[in-house]
A = this chain, B = another copy of it.
């Protein structure tokens, strides 16, 4: 029999190994057995973890040694009003987080943006990257390799694209450091976030490089990709989608709804997000874009570890004087390296797929890539709302305190 108890006993007796349970029972039973084991060893009760809402087998591509699921509260903000290159109209955006007040804050910002007529958004660059590192004898061979690459982009594209029905090789950028050569391959991966596609395609292209040049592959990722690390190369050149969202908030709205002025918000943004981040040696010039990006990633099945670079955002807030003397607020967020997809990875899991359904963006878009573009634009507007709300609150407190000062 392959009930959980028996399986757990057999592991404890050394008869089975904990990661082999799926070979001896269905996935849910295996997870139950594993819970039992952990419960016995740690003296705990994993009832909530075990009370997940999907067939364990469905998670097979996503996890090993499964014991159940983490459940993170999910809410919605919106409607998010977007006039984008791909997204259009109003969307509820699901966010999963444990940070209290986050959704309320984003919603406050969205309300202001809606009253202002909505936000614009555009994906201004798109390319998933993978950058293998090769070893050469020295710079003479490095230069030879770089030359060969620049003269054989078509052959590299052919090799790379032979592994994928969707991906297109956009560019290969070479970098030389001593006897290491880095080749940064960039792909249009359409509606997939595309790391796997890019990795497999690059692996194939690397064989060509190794066959035709003196270069020898050391690692398929040489960290100039750069995946899950906060790297300037992504902040400067982008990775995944580079997306900007912006809105002009009429001065009256700033006053009525945010209880402050465009000038005060601009000042807070400059001192905090620009000068403060500059002094901190930061790659992130924003207030809390990571909160929105992280919560949207979790809700929609994106790679949570990519929040590291996906949250890389420059926020600008400037006063714009109208001809009638009123001062409006121009607010923008520019996310340099937002890696998102609507197919593959975690997007197929039940709660995540439903969240994409709420956005109307589950699966491949028409044309290909348009769903991921739209998701990027909607997340960007969500981040814009979060920035607007927080900076408005800071500026409003500041004004309040200034008034108190005057009242003394």
Q: Which of A139, A282, A299 has the most CB of B within 10 A?
A: A139
Binds B, one of A7-15, A157-165, A346-354: A346-354
Inter-chain contact A304/B305, CB cutoff 8 Å: no
Cβ of A281 under 8 Å from chain B: yes
Inter-chain contact A354/B44, CB cutoff 8 Å: yes
Inter-chain contact A394/B220, CB cutoff 8 Å: yes
Give Cα A44–Cα B175 distance, bound, in whole angstroms: 38
Q: Mark interface residues in A325-353 (1 if CB within 8 Å of B CB, else 0).
A: 00000101110000000000110011111
- Given contacts A235-B279, A282-B233, whether A334 and B224 have CB atoms under 8 Å apart is no
Q: Which of A223, A289, A360 has the most CB of B within 10 A?
A: A223
Cβ of A148 under 8 Å from chain B: no
Cβ of A366 under 8 Å from chain B: no
Cβ of A107 under 8 Å from chain B: yes
Give Cα A140–Cα B248 distance, bound, in whole angstroms: 12
A interface, by DSSP: helix, strand, loop or mixed?
Answer: mixed
Q: Taking the nearest CB of chain B, how far is it from the CB of A262, in angstroms? A: 13
A235 interface neighbour in B180, B273, B281, B301, Cβ under 8 Å: B281
Give Cα A332–Cα B135 distance, bound, in whole angstroms: 13
- Give A138's nearest chain B residue, CB to CB: B246
Give Cα A226–Cα B311 distance, bound, in whole angstroms: 14
Inter-chain contact B64/A104, CB cutoff 8 Å: yes
Q: Mark interface residues in A79-119 (1 if CB within 8 Å of B CB, else 0).
A: 00001010000001010111111111001000000000000
Inter-chain contact A272/B63, CB cutoff 8 Å: no
Q: Taking the nearest CB of chain B, how far is it from the CB of A376, in angstroms? A: 12
Give Cα A280–Cα B234 distance, bound, in whole angstroms: 8
Inter-chain contact B232/A282, CB cutoff 8 Å: yes
**Number of copies of this protein chain within its complex:** 4
Inter-chain contact B63/A68, CB cutoff 8 Å: no
Interface hits, A271-291 → B, CB 8 Å: 271-291
Cβ of A202 under 8 Å from chain B: no
Cβ of A170 under 8 Å from chain B: no
A76 interface neighbour in B34, B103, B227, Cβ under 8 Å: B34
Give Cα A270–Cα B285 distance, bound, in whole angstroms: 13
Inter-chain contact B124/A176, CB cutoff 8 Å: yes
Cβ of A66 under 8 Å from chain B: yes
Interface hits, A20-66 → B, CB 8 Å: 34, 38, 41-42, 44-49, 51-54, 59-66
Inter-chain contact A71/B350, CB cutoff 8 Å: yes
CB-defined A-B contacts under 8 Å, sample of 5: A49-B74, A64-B75, A178-B246, A222-B272, A281-B281
Known: A44-B354, A218-B267, A278-B285. 14 other contacts (CB 8 A): A19-B107, A38-B92, A65-B75, A71-B350, A72-B298, A98-B345, A177-B278, A179-B316, A179-B318, A224-B280, A226-B280, A229-B282, A229-B283, A284-B308
Which 4 pairs between the two chains have the least Cβ-Cβ distance?
A232-B281, A98-B346, A230-B230, A229-B284
